[in-house]
């Protein structure tokens, strides 16, 4: 039997039939935003979608999950000074997430997993989850692919791990994203408050935050060392992320 996990390719009757087997749906979520001179604006939703597809393929024998079409726009006002970025408001994004989850739940998907690829979306996701809690007949889970390997990433890549960096470029490249190899640049990003506000997603405490535009911390749009990126590093990280995504689906599949 062919592994048909793309909801968009299925008829309504096939979806109805699938629900007799499996009630898990994955919803890839990303952004359309600048990723420096070497990576296209689709990078966040491209990576999230690839991970969702690979997860569905890998768990197929035990769990015939479906993957919805990706949410390709996210919350990216902090990238709007770079051309090609398209942002939703936080309210639009959280409403969109909730509407998609309510639709899936109404049809019988009882476990919905938002596979996120963009840090800027986390508040909107969390707002949507709080909003749905208690008024949706499903469990809605949220995970960020980059958190799935957060404990190992620093052993593999050059920090900062932030934006269009060594890590993100390596993973995107390995997964098949277009990479303009000779346009890759290194820009560690401007430290806004020394010791407290450092552009690095894995920076250790102490930490403080402030609202800022990416233009304030980077000229190129990159925060990190994208010239260090390789497909080999991307594979190391992607394999680990996938292994943990698969474990997660197996765990919720038992519930």
User: Does 166 help bind Zn ion (rule: CB under 5 A)?
Assistant: no
From 41-49, 81-89, 196-204, 238-246, give the range in contact with Zn ion by CB under 5 A: 41-49
Nearer to Zn ion, 102 or 154 (CB): 154
Nearer to Zn ion, 101 or 167 (CB): 167
Pairing label, strands 224-225, 186-187: antiparallel
Rg (CA), the chain: 18
Here the tokens at position 50 are 């690839």
Task: Report, in Å, the least distance between residue 249 CB and Zn ion.
Answer: 23
- 219 contacts: CB under 8 Å, gap ≥ 6: 187
- Separation between Cα atoms, residue 165 and residue 223, nearest integer Å: 6
Q: Which DSSP string do the residues of 204-243 spell out, in sequence order?
A: PSS-------HHHH-SSS-BEEGGG--HHHHHHHHHHHHH
Here the tokens at position 249 are 């689906």
User: Does 44 help bind Zn ion (rule: CB under 5 A)?
Assistant: yes
Nearer to Zn ion, 76 or 132 (CB): 76
User: Does 23 help bind Zn ion (rule: CB under 5 A)?
Assistant: no
Task: Report, in Å, the least distance between residue 64 CB and Zn ion.
Answer: 30
**Nearest residue relative to Zn ion (C-beta):** 44
Which letter does DSSP use for residue 121 in this model? G
Task: Report, in Å, the least distance between residue 146 CB and Zn ion.
Answer: 9
Nearer to Zn ion, 64 or 199 (CB): 199
Strand partners, 140: 112
Task: Report, in Å, the least distance between residue 193 CB and Zn ion.
Answer: 23
Nearer to Zn ion, 44 or 187 (CB): 44
Residues of the shown chain interacting with Zn ion in the complex, contacts defined by CB under 5 A: 44
């Amino acid at each position: 039997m062919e592994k048909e996990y793309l909801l968009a390719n299925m008829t309504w009757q096939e979806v109805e039939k699938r629900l007799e087997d499996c009630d898990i749906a994955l919803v890839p979520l990303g952004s359309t935003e600048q990723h420096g001179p070497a990576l296209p604006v689709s990078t966040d939703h491209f990576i999230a979608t690839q991970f969702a597809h690979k997860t569905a393929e890998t768990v197929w024998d035990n769990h015939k999950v479906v993957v919805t079409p990706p949410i390709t726009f996210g919350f990216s006002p902090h990238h709007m000074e770079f051309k090609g970025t398209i942002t939703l408001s936080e309210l639009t994004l959280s409403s969109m997430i909730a509407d998609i989850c309510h639709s899936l739940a109404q049809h019988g998907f009882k476990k919905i997993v938002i596979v996120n690829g963009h840090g800027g979306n986390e508040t909107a996701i969390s707002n949507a989850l709080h909003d749905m809690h208690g008024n949706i007949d499903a469990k809605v889970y949220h995970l960020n692919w980059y958190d799935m390997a957060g404990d190992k990433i620093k052993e593999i890549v050059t920090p900062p791990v932030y934006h269009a960096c060594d890590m993100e470029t390596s993973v995107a490249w390995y997964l098949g994203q277009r990479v303009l190899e000779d346009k890759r640049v290194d820009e560690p990003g401007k430290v806004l408050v020394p010791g407290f506000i450092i552009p690095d997603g894995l920076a250790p405490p102490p930490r403080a935050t402030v609202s800022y535009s990416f233009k304030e911390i980077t000229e190129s749009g990159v925060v990190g060392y994208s010239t260090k990126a390789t497909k080999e590093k991307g594979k190391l990280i992607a394999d680990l992320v996938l292994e943990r995504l698969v474990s997660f689906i197996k765990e919720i599949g038992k519930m």
